[in-house]
A and B are shown apart, each in its own frame.
Chain A
């Protein structure tokens, strides 16, 4: 294999593909990136055996097609230290790889490319398409609510449900649930659903340029996402996602209209004196105002209030402030609606028409 590529293009490709490669692996080949030169493209492949990536570089000159398997961190280092307008020549001699820049030469000991696990390829048509900006926004609004450590493995991922012209993402950690909806640019050929691991979600966020059209395909136990530059593939989370429809409350007895930014600020204030053993803040709703208070047994008490619109009986309810703040941070409307039914029942936060957030109360003891 012999290929000449622009450093800047390689840098971008390696930043993304390299982030998949696990730094420490008992299998040295898993710390590598695979290069495939073919026609007039160079493909960089990386995988951690759960998530994989094929990154296409077209602004290259392939002098001799072929493959190479090179430790990712070494190649990244070489590319990082090269001048960004420099052209790098990558040439193989068996498993040895020569990288030559304008004023430097490297001889890298690689591995046999045939030993690298295969990275799934996007074949046939997409199930649906969505603008990367829309998906990116939906990911931001849900991925934070996934479970970090949970026996119920399914909820470590985000549930994707595509039907007709809409995609819906749902995430929960068992205490709160976030649901975001977005419009597809090409409708779903059939209803599809899958649980997508958080790692792929963050890869999507990282590669999001905001102006791309994403083709998505769910096939077997994998999901494929394709842009012009690359294909990401990930195995799906196996298991059953909880029946989330059942826990989204209906039939509230009170509704508050709350200014998003101020509310977040007030909840932060009220939480200042809580401690790790008692985090909860108490929200007292009354027409026109919500009082938010928090206390720590050794630290003291804090109280803040926020003007709101309110219809319903006065009500008190406790929340983990972090759960409230998490949602306020991602909500992009000026106001939210908060539906309540009882102090021991879940509360529902609505923002615009495409974001729902269910939050379970805390019993302050």
Chain B
């Protein structure tokens, strides 16, 4: 590791000085990042009383040499940055050289360190503005920093600390944000003598997620398809829409290995999942964005949690494209997880027999291929006679790379050289798509409560919400139809007046072209009233009540600040398909049910209705067997 240098005055000014320590978690962040910068492969964190009493980090990294020790607690002393150019190509976590100094100034800090080359360790005690001379001590190679009595001399700050539990929650979250992108480093976290988190070193991010959260969550994650340009590479794991949560806390976005919050990237996420999750839900994801360090300014916020991209549109576009492609290729029907007997979750995660699993998958695949070869003629009510009848493209092998424990492959998320190498990516591509088998069409179908369709699939069963699925089919169908021209529209003999606000009237006027394309003619009709002169035949056909329809559309559109044409279109199509779709409670014939299932096979995003509610629940044989204690 480079020697510690005093930063030049100029550089000091260039770095926005900012108070970085606001609570114990901020201390933890600085110290753990230092440990990582020192090349540690194991980091043990000990907390007492939510960090108010003690925050202690022990690492097995480089240690600090005796010669450099006096500078470690000096302000603006860093070994990580020595001239201006470096500031724009930051690779390490720390670079301001102010963390240790400022932490020491508001606590009782002690540091024990030993380099691998030295037989002897050194101890330094720092409190307020005094730093002791290094004293020899016996210790293992690496560094231990203990911070006691944080804010002892700043009572105002100390008063603002929350309860022990809250502060410990922040500490845990902070450690996670660092641990997730660094699965190759082992972490432990202890609170008041109790081990609360143990993350063994691993070469897979999925394993790290499994250790940090739950195995179920980790197993259900879909790897992002790989695409990348010279300057941006997006990798990661995303959860299926059905696993979406009520808050954005489960959206982990890392930029060059550093946890960030970014409105633009969050927006890309929302866009990608739009129509797959309800607007109040946040998809769970672990995204690792790699950008050439020269393309991003991480120095806009004292804790570096916000960044500024030079080419933000490009990053946004790449992320969105990657997410969309991944979601499009995945079968997103949620699987039912019933409470497991004989809980399978173990600390290390029982490795699925790496040989058996693919074999089982293989036979399912074969069965499917056979099925499609001998597929019976589709039922006569089929709407899409152009859907392929021959065997579909072979279903790609299920994804095992990055699987739990067993994987020998290097984790796709281990810190990668930047920019990533584009070769071999395409070969791997298909391996990163999870496909579960589609429902088999000539198996029995059963309607329950005139609302749900139950059907057999090759590896279990599905339960389908008839309204939601039909809604999705119609939505896609309308989109497809629109692409080939204007929708058929029925003129009104007696135009239907609808009261609208001036904003709404302006909106209708602005999007008149779109409305025409959809088969609407809506014209001004006296003060704050418009009249529907024409509307799509398919709505007329279904006796859709037009005033209510238009109101509903306008209400949806009003949820956007300044709706784009695309948003308006989506809102209209979503309401249209909802109104036109078969209702819950409507009895369906077997043929009608099969027709729905058949069409779902050909349908994009069939797992969720246009409003984002799931259409389908999968229940696998495995799951059934588990519940009947057959395993």
A-side residues, CB < 8 A to B, are: 148-152, 155, 172, 174-177, 242, 247, 275-280, 297-299, 318, 320, 344, 346, 358-365
Which one, B73-81, B362-370, B486-494, B522-530, is touching chain A? B486-494
Q: How far is the CA of A177 from the CA of B477 in the complex (A)?
A: 32
Docked complex Cα distance between A155 and B491 (Å): 17
A362 touches B383 (CB 8 A): no
User: Which residues of B in the span 493-549 have a Cβ within 8 Å of any Cβ on A?
Assistant: 493-494, 496, 519, 534, 537-538, 540-541, 543-548
Indicate whether A363 sits within 8 Å of B534 (C-beta atoms), given known contacts A275-B383, A297-B481, A298-B385: yes
Determine if B386 is an interface residue (Cβ-Cβ < 8 Å): yes
Q: Is B213 on the interface with A (CB-CB < 8 A)?
A: no
- State whether A276 touches B538 (Cβ < 8 A): yes
Q: Is the interface of A mostly helix, strand, loop or mixed?
A: loop
**A318-B488, A363-B489, A365-B487 are known contacts; what are 13 more A-B pairs with Cβ within 8 Å?**
A149-B543, A151-B496, A155-B494, A175-B491, A175-B493, A277-B477, A277-B537, A277-B538, A280-B537, A297-B484, A320-B490, A346-B491, A362-B490
User: A151 — which chain B residues lie within 8 A by C-beta?
Assistant: 496, 545-548
For B493, the chain A residues whose CB sits under 8 A away are 172, 174-177, 247, 346, 358-360
- Across the interface, do A174 and B488 meet the contact criterion of CB distance under 8 Å? no
A299 to B380, CA, bound (A): 11
CA distance A358 to B494 in the complex (A): 11
Q: Does B384 contact A (CB under 8 A)?
A: yes
Given the contacts A150-B545, A298-B383, A364 and B491 also touching, CB distance less than 8 Å: no
Interface flags, B596-621, vs A, CB<8A=1, else 0: 00000000000000000000000000
Q: How far is the CA of A93 from the CA of B490 in the complex (A)?
A: 61
The distance from the CB of A172 to the nearest CB of chain B, in whole angstroms, is 6
Contact residues, B465-485 vs A (CB, 8 A): 477-478, 481, 484-485
Q: Which residues of A contact B486 (CB under 8 A)?
A: 363, 365
**Total B residues in contact with A, Cβ cutoff 8 Å:** 31
Query: Does the CB pair A174–B492 fall under 8 Å?
Result: yes
How many A-B Cβ pairs are below 8 Å? 90
Contacts of A276 in B (CB 8 A): 538, 541
Q: Which residues of B contact A358 (CB under 8 A)?
A: 493
Q: Which residue in B384, B494, B544, B546 is a CB contact (below 8 Å) of A172?
A: B494
Please indicate the chain A residues that have their CB under 8 angstroms from the CB of B548 in the complex.
151
**Complex-state Cα separation, A298 to B384, whole angstroms:** 6
Contacts A360-B493, A363-B489, A365-B486; A320 near B543 (Cβ below 8 A): no
Known: A151-B546, A151-B547, A277-B477. A365 touches B494 (CB 8 A): no
The answer to whether A362 touches B538 (Cβ under 8 A) is: no
Shortest beta-carbon distance from B497 to chain A in Å: 9
Least Cβ–Cβ distance between A12 and chain B, in angstroms: 33
Tell me the minimal C-beta distance from B537 to chain A in angstroms.
5
Contact A365 B385 (CB under 8 A): no
Q: Which of B385, B487, B494, B545 has the most CB of A within 10 A?
A: B494
* Bound-complex Cα distance A119 to B224 (A): 71
Going nearest first, the 8 A-B pairs with the smallest beta carbon separation are: A365-B486, A151-B547, A360-B491, A149-B543, A278-B488, A360-B493, A242-B494, A363-B489
B490 to A175, Cβ gap below 8 A? yes
Question: Which chain B residues lie closer than 8 Å to A299 at the CB level?
Answer: 385
**Which residues on the A side are within 8 Å of B519 (C-beta)?**
363, 365
Residue of B nearest to A279 (CB): B537
Residues of B with C-beta under 8 A to A152: 494, 496
Q: A177-B493, A277-B477 are in contact. Are A362 and B537 (CB under 8 A)?
A: yes
A176 to B496, CA, bound (A): 13
Query: In chain B between 336 and 363, which residues have their CB closer than 8 angstroms to a CB of chain A?
Result: none
- Are A247 and B538 in contact (CB-based, < 8 A)? no
Q: Are A365's CB and B545's CB within 8 A?
A: no
In the complex, how many angstroms separate the beta carbon of B471 from the nearest chain A beta carbon? 14
* C-alpha spacing A63/B386, complex, angstroms: 76
Contact of A364 among B384, B478, B488, B547 (CB under 8 A): B488
* Residues in A whose Cβ lies below 8 Å from that of B478: 277
Query: Which residues of chain B from 546 to 586 have a CB within 8 Å of any chain A CB?
Result: 546-548
Question: Is the CB–CB distance between A277 and B481 below 8 Å?
Answer: yes
The answer on a CB contact under 8 Å between B385 and A279 is no
* Residue in B488, B496, B546 whose beta carbon sits within 8 Å of that of A363 in the complex: B488
Q: Which of B481, B488, B490, B543 contacts A148 (CB 8 A)?
A: B543
**Complex contact B541–A279 (CB within 8 A):** yes
Complex Cα spacing A297 to B481, Å: 9
User: Can you spell out 5 A-B residue pairs with CB atoms less than 8 angstroms apart?
Assistant: A151-B496, A174-B492, A175-B493, A320-B540, A364-B488
Give the distance in Å from the alpha carbon of A318 to the alpha carbon of B458 in the complex.
Answer: 46
The residues of B that contact A150 with a CB separation of less than 8 Å are 545
Q: Specify which chain A residues have a CB less than 8 angstroms from the CB of B537 in the assembled complex.
A: 277-280, 320, 362
Q: Is the CB of A175 within 8 A of B546?
A: no
For the complex, give the distance between the alpha carbons of A276 and B496 in Å: 23
* Closest CB in chain B relative to A270 CB, distance in Å: 15
Closest to A247 in B: B493
Measured CB to CB, the closest approach of chain A to B553, in angstroms, equals 15
Q: How far, in whole Å, are A362 and B535 apart by their CA atoms in the complex?
A: 9
- The smallest C-beta distance from B239 to any residue of chain A, in angstroms, reads 35
Residue of chain A at shortest CB distance from B517: A365
Smallest distance from the beta carbon of B515 to chain A beta carbons, Å? 13
| Cα-based distance from A346 to B494 in the complex (angstroms) | 11
| Chain B residues whose C-beta falls within 8 Å of the C-beta of A363 in the assembled complex | 486, 488-491, 519, 534
Inter-chain contact B485/A362, CB cutoff 8 Å: no
Question: Which residue, B386, B490, B541, has most C-beta atoms of chain A within 10 A?
Answer: B490
A283 to B76 alpha-carbon distance, docked (Å): 85
| Most chain B beta carbons < 10 A, residue from A148, A177, A242, A363 | A363
Can you name the residue of chain B whose Cβ is closest to the Cβ of A296? B383
B534:A174 contact, CB within 8 angstroms = no
